[in-house]
Structure 1
Amino acid sequence: MAQVMPNSVLSFQCWLSKAAEWGQTTTLESQQDVCAHLPQLLTFLLQISESLKHMSLNSALARFPAIDQLLKQLCWNPFVVGHEGLQKALMSCLCCLYSSDPRGPLELKTNDWIQNLLCSLFSGSQYEFHKEWKAITHLGWTTAGYHGKLLKNTIASLISQLKGCQSVSGCSKPRLSAEDIRSISVKCIPIHTLPDVVPLLEALLIYHCPEPIEVLDELFLHTINNSIMWKKIVLSESAVLSLWLRHLPSLENAVLDLFQRLIAIQSKSSGEMERVIKDSFLPQAACHPSIFVIIDGIFRNALLETDGTIKVITIIRLFTRRFIQMYEKDNLQARFPLRTFFPHNSLNLVMALLRQFQGLTPRVCFQHLHSIVQKVKDVDSGIRSHENLFNSWFLLIHFGDWVDVAAEQLLTSEHEISDDLLWLLAFYYNPCNDNQERIKTMIAAREVCTSLRKLSSNAVACPVTLQTIHEGKREQMWNFCTMQLIRHLCVTFLLYSSEWHTVAKDCISRMTQTQEAANEVSDVLARTLCRLNNTGMKNEKITKKALELLHDF
């Protein structure tokens, strides 16, 4: 911690004025102002404390002549001392000024007012503190036990009043007004991390007032949401859901925080990304359509702003998979129909993409993929517009596992190479509203599929041969989208052709000469591994090889 520099005198004077202005925080406006300044005040007091450690008493009083006034005002402010960090910072400042061996009237006088201020941290005056302590001791309590019990009783009383205002029988006159509830929420801000306060936080968040405006304080909602994200407190799922439903900024902050944490994870760590998504509670909350629409809207914007970056696409796919798991978790529970979650898409297409592919025979899986393609084409051939095209592509990204299954079918199926499956992959990687570009991509993909099928049945495994297919003919000049699709097919070939496993590492090395290519290949490996693990479609050879290749990156 850096020492307070000379130019911070102005800051000291400002805080002195602010402390005097707050007084005993008798008004709601004053209480809100204190809560809004708690983080900055804590930083300032820690700086003051660090400076005092390096000063004698005379130097400290000369440097900060009004230090006694500032500390006194703050020690008497219940909102300041209610904050655990600030209480410790205040005590640290006082201890720095305290003389263990006073040698003169100044040190004796200073020690005296320090003792009084330490007492005020508990009750308000030395006399009252000793009086209260004697009464508590007479009852057989310790001060800590007494105040703990008092806090629990106060919280229980407030919760009872909150529930009473919403009882089925109703109240002719509410026990707590909207202003009362707002005041309670403000008072919770400095002490919200105390375990005993959690039931009151949950009661406040679940409380619904007949008033048309929000009754809980804005800073309270922000503070609680931040503490939930930073794991400082743990609230019930119903309380968190209520928080996000009643306060849109908190939900948006939670989604953006999740997004940033997922982006920071390496592409090959799909399992870690899944754990982070699961731990966020957002997939469960997304089972409420209002929350799903907000989350999906943020995903949509991220997709547009990044031009469909692989990392963003992977996040959308993993989140959707977890959301569907939560949605289908309890078939007996009343649920919103799925059409409410995807209002911009054909319900037939949504239901087709929702079908699980595990357990399907190769023939049924092949037929279902054709039906998916036909439904996407129907949308595209209807009212042709960029919006409809984007909505279909965005939906396909949510359920992108079917695209990976299509790639596997193209390389492993006994059927002829399907134009429909080629179209699906070309649309996924090149959704632009230009049929000529898509046709070019399909032609390139067909050539690669044909060559890979021949390798699988006829040729001896050779990295150079696969590299030739991957790079294509010099005159072809594949575009970026086509190259993504070609890499996808080549990696899938290496995983599903066991005779090529011995040279897969060398093949992958030749395919990933750029960071961009490496990201794409590792993503295909990770999502294949993730899909096989999640659906129970265990294939030990493929799983083992995918793990080895990911480890080598």
Structure 2
Amino acid sequence: MAQDTAVPKLDFEYWLDKAIKWGQATTLESQKDVCLHLPQLQEFLRQVYETLKHMDSIAAIQQFPLIGQLLGRLCWNPFVIGYDESQKTLMWCLCCLYSSEPQNPVELKANSWIRSLLCHLLSSSKWESNEAETSTFISTLGYTSADYYCHLVKNMVFSLLAEFRGNQFNGRNIQGRKKISLPESAVISLWLRHLPSLEKATLHLLDQLVSIQLNSLEEVACVIKDSLLPQAASHPAIFRIVNEIFKNVLLETDGTPEVLTVIQVFTQLFLQAHQNENKEHRFPLKAYFPYHHQPLVTALLRRPLELPTTHWSQHLKCISDTLKALVEDTNISSFADLFEIWFLVARFGEWLDIAAEQLLKASVEPDALLWLLAFYHCPQNENQQRTQTMVEAQAVYSHLTMLFSYTVLSVKDLEAAVHTVMGIDQCCNQHLIIHLLTNFLLFSSGGQMIAQEFIYHITEATDTRKEVCSLLIRTAYRIKHNGEENQKTVKLLNELVQKLTSKV
């Protein structure tokens, strides 16, 4: 063999040492090291194959005595064979070592060993659905297609049984084993290459958050961060797919409060991850949000912490005026267009909660902020319906502002507001007024005294316990992170959340 085509012995020793240290990549350190060296390993395996394909199997084993041990170890490393190209190159290398006409028991045994490895690699791949891809390997094994799939199923069953028995005998709990942990970059690469895995991860996150009882937004944020989806969404292609899934789930669940809260927290975490991206590689934010809504996007993207609290009302008026001009545009006529605008606003729900709070706590011109809340809760209302919504909201708002300075209140003092809520035909108008009432109870001295009694009464009467609970959790999170409220309000919020979540 020409000297320049030979694979240096040193490389075999180096990679065998690596393969021994990696084992089956059960520790985070070994997983990271595999991912770090994967490009160099792939190049090495390619060189091995280019050399082996010019040699017969006996000469290959004689010249490279470590090759069998090395390939065998690599074939059982899930992080190596998880990469399609590495898996395929390993298969071709093994085929080069296979003796088409074995002459002795050693070659027969080697062929049997190679067949078992190829069966394992094929059972670990998605190629079984592609006859053209697998036919060469199946014929190398000496099987027909029908025989191969029979052997494949048996191999998988035997492997699972062996693992199960091993877990039993070793006294280990299967549910408590260390899951395989991929680096963030590897997960994102997987999602970019394999759309079903991204869809599954997104739906799993939503199912996980909606199906379990969470008592704080910190818990929600922790679960969302662990999913890696906010970080991965820094890639616009991933963001758009996750965005579409969120929109469809919202439509299917009719805007359930839990899903809406998850989307709002996800948006905050995505913006944080985007901000932490290297400036040179960071995509502009207009790549993620509708380009034709840029003035509204720009206003919504301003975080409350970036502005003095004294400027919040003015900024909310700017959001409201921009939104109103957009909604009343004659080109916005279809439900799809209207939903796109509403969904954009809903993603930044923190500003909506602040709007309801500012209406009661600050000296503001109420029309713009009430209109903003009216659109958020009742986006499909047309001019006449929205006018009626505004009239009802104004009446409740005026009543609440009159009572805001009272230090002592009773539930009877709020009966007018309760009757307004109970007498409303439109459910969305009811949500708007409950939004105002809840903020009144949290931020007025008299309201705090009757908050537990009143919230229990109103949520039982209107079946809005989950909605109010989501609002309370969001408010507690905002207060904790902004630090603009006293401990009395924080304590009240915690008590209310505990009481409501115990009944959900």
Aligning the two structures, in what range does the TM-score lie when normalised by the shorter sequence?
0.5 to 0.7
- The reply on whether 1:302 has 2:182 as its aligned counterpart is no
Match of 1:218, as an amino acid?
K
In the alignment, the residues of structure 1 paired with residue 38 and residue 304 of structure 2 have an alpha-carbon distance, to the nearest angstrom, of 52
Q: Deviation string for 1:417-447 (max 9, x for gaps)? A: x211111101000010522222211111111
Q: Deviation string for 1:139-182 (max 9, x for gaps)? A: xxxxxx999569589x979763414589xxxx9x97899xxxxx
In the alignment, the residues of structure 1 paired with residue 250 and residue 387 of structure 2 have an alpha-carbon distance, to the nearest angstrom, of 24
The DSSP-based 3-state class of the residue aligned with 1:457 is: coil
Match of 2:315, as an amino acid?
H
- 1:514 Cα deviation from its structure 2 partner: 4.9
Q: Could you say if the C-alpha distance between residues 542 and 243 of structure 1 is closer, same or farther in structure 2, counting changes exceeding 3 Å? A: same
- 1:323 Cα deviation from its structure 2 partner: 0.9
In the alignment, the residues of structure 2 paired with residue 258 and residue 250 of structure 1 have an alpha-carbon distance, to the nearest angstrom, of 12
The DSSP-based 3-state class of the residue aligned with 2:464 is: helix
- The reply on whether 1:471 has 2:379 as its aligned counterpart is no
Aligned to 2:400: 452
- 1:204 Cα deviation from its structure 2 partner: 5.2
1:343-358 correspondence to structure 2 within 5 Å: 343=290, 345-358=292-305
Aligned to 2:62: none
Match of 2:413, as an amino acid?
T
CA contact (8 A) 1:498 1:541 kept: no
CA contact (8 A) 1:267 1:519 kept: no
1:380 aligned to which of 327, 333, 339: 327
Q: Deviation string for 1:108-130 (max 9, x for gaps)? A: xxxxxxxxxxxxxxxxxxxxxxx
CA contact (8 A) 1:467 1:511 kept: no
In the alignment, the residues of structure 2 paired with residue 147 and residue 473 of structure 1 have an alpha-carbon distance, to the nearest angstrom, of 68
Q: Could you say if the C-alpha distance between residues 428 and 443 of structure 1 is closer, same or farther in structure 2, counting changes exceeding 3 Å? A: same
CA contact (8 A) 2:374 2:389 kept: yes
1:142-157 correspondence to structure 2 within 5 Å: 148=20
In the alignment, the residues of structure 1 paired with residue 18 and residue 327 of structure 2 have an alpha-carbon distance, to the nearest angstrom, of 71
In the alignment, the residues of structure 2 paired with residue 532 and residue 206 of structure 1 have an alpha-carbon distance, to the nearest angstrom, of 51
1:218 aligned to which of 126, 133, 157: 126
The DSSP-based 3-state class of the residue aligned with 2:231 is: helix
CA contact (8 A) 2:359 2:369 kept: yes
Q: Could you say if the C-alpha distance between residues 174 and 485 of structure 1 is closer, same or farther in structure 2, counting changes exceeding 3 Å? A: farther
1:357-376 correspondence to structure 2 within 5 Å: 357-358=304-305, 360-376=307-323
Q: Deviation string for 1:346-405 (max 9, x for gaps)? A: 122111101011253344211111111122122213312222211110001110111011
TM-score of the two chains, using structure 1 as the length reference:
0.61
Q: Could you say if the C-alpha distance between residues 267 and 393 of structure 1 is closer, same or farther in structure 2, counting changes exceeding 3 Å? A: farther
In the alignment, the residues of structure 1 paired with residue 425 and residue 387 of structure 2 have an alpha-carbon distance, to the nearest angstrom, of 12
The DSSP-based 3-state class of the residue aligned with 1:392 is: helix
Match of 2:357, as an amino acid?
E
Match of 1:238, as an amino acid?
S
Match of 1:312, as an amino acid?
V
In the alignment, the residues of structure 2 paired with residue 206 and residue 484 of structure 1 have an alpha-carbon distance, to the nearest angstrom, of 56
CA contact (8 A) 2:421 2:433 kept: no
1:415 aligned to which of 364, 375, 379: 364
CA contact (8 A) 2:421 2:430 kept: no
Gaps of 5+ in 2: 1-16, 26-32, 54-72, 90-121, 130-155, 157-173
- The reply on whether 1:443 has 2:391 as its aligned counterpart is yes
TM-score of the two chains, using structure 2 as the length reference:
0.66
- The reply on whether 1:200 has 2:148 as its aligned counterpart is no
In the alignment, the residues of structure 2 paired with residue 205 and residue 237 of structure 1 have an alpha-carbon distance, to the nearest angstrom, of 20
2:210 aligned to which of 263, 266, 283: 263
Gaps of 5+ in 1: 1-144, 178-190, 210-214
2:227 aligned to which of 261, 265, 280: 280
Report which stretch shifted further, 444-453 or 376-385.
376-385
The DSSP-based 3-state class of the residue aligned with 2:77 is: helix
CA contact (8 A) 2:405 2:444 kept: no
1:22-41 correspondence to structure 2 within 5 Å: none
Aligned alpha-carbon RMSD (Å) = 3.9
Aligned to 1:45: none
- 1:533 Cα deviation from its structure 2 partner: 2.5
CA contact (8 A) 1:262 1:315 kept: yes
Match of 1:366, as an amino acid?
S
Q: Could you say if the C-alpha distance between residues 533 and 197 of structure 1 is closer, same or farther in structure 2, counting changes exceeding 3 Å? A: farther
1:43-122 correspondence to structure 2 within 5 Å: none
Q: Could you say if the C-alpha distance between residues 359 and 286 of structure 1 is closer, same or farther in structure 2, counting changes exceeding 3 Å? A: closer
Aligned residues: 376
Q: Could you say if the C-alpha distance between residues 498 and 146 of structure 1 is closer, same or farther in structure 2, counting changes exceeding 3 Å? A: closer
Answer 1 or 2: higher relative contact order, Cα 8 Å, separation at least 6: 2
In the alignment, the residues of structure 2 paired with residue 346 and residue 205 of structure 1 have an alpha-carbon distance, to the nearest angstrom, of 43
2:259 aligned to which of 312, 320, 323: 312
- 1:478 Cα deviation from its structure 2 partner: 4.1
The DSSP-based 3-state class of the residue aligned with 2:276 is: coil
Aligned to 1:393: 342
Aligned to 1:55: none
- The reply on whether 1:522 has 2:430 as its aligned counterpart is no
CA contact (8 A) 1:267 1:523 kept: no
In the alignment, the residues of structure 2 paired with residue 276 and residue 218 of structure 1 have an alpha-carbon distance, to the nearest angstrom, of 30
The DSSP-based 3-state class of the residue aligned with 2:450 is: helix
- 1:498 Cα deviation from its structure 2 partner: 2.8
CA contact (8 A) 1:339 1:347 kept: yes
In the alignment, the residues of structure 1 paired with residue 88 and residue 488 of structure 2 have an alpha-carbon distance, to the nearest angstrom, of 55
The DSSP-based 3-state class of the residue aligned with 1:452 is: helix
Aligned to 1:487: 434
Match of 1:423, as an amino acid?
W
Match of 1:341, as an amino acid?
Y
Aligned to 1:60: none
Q: Deviation string for 1:83-131 (max 9, x for gaps)? A: xxxxxxxxxxxxxxxxxxxxxxxxxxxxxxxxxxxxxxxxxxxxxxxxx
1:122-141 correspondence to structure 2 within 5 Å: none
In the alignment, the residues of structure 2 paired with residue 412 and residue 150 of structure 1 have an alpha-carbon distance, to the nearest angstrom, of 61
1:335 aligned to which of 277, 282, 285: 282
Aligned to 2:40: 160
Aligned to 2:380: 432
Aligned to 2:499: 552
Q: Could you say if the C-alpha distance between residues 486 and 235 of structure 1 is closer, same or farther in structure 2, counting changes exceeding 3 Å? A: same
In the alignment, the residues of structure 2 paired with residue 403 and residue 239 of structure 1 have an alpha-carbon distance, to the nearest angstrom, of 37
CA contact (8 A) 1:267 1:311 kept: no
Q: Could you say if the C-alpha distance between residues 356 and 151 of structure 1 is closer, same or farther in structure 2, counting changes exceeding 3 Å? A: closer
Q: Could you say if the C-alpha distance between residues 346 and 463 of structure 1 is closer, same or farther in structure 2, counting changes exceeding 3 Å? A: same
CA contact (8 A) 1:205 1:242 kept: no
> Percent identity at matched positions?
39
CA contact (8 A) 2:221 2:265 kept: yes
Report which stretch shifted further, 339-348 or 238-247.
339-348
Match of 1:308, as an amino acid?
G
In the alignment, the residues of structure 2 paired with residue 494 and residue 362 of structure 1 have an alpha-carbon distance, to the nearest angstrom, of 21
The DSSP-based 3-state class of the residue aligned with 1:512 is: helix
CA contact (8 A) 1:358 1:535 kept: yes
Q: Could you say if the C-alpha distance between residues 453 and 251 of structure 1 is closer, same or farther in structure 2, counting changes exceeding 3 Å? A: same
Q: Could you say if the C-alpha distance between residues 461 and 538 of structure 1 is closer, same or farther in structure 2, counting changes exceeding 3 Å? A: closer
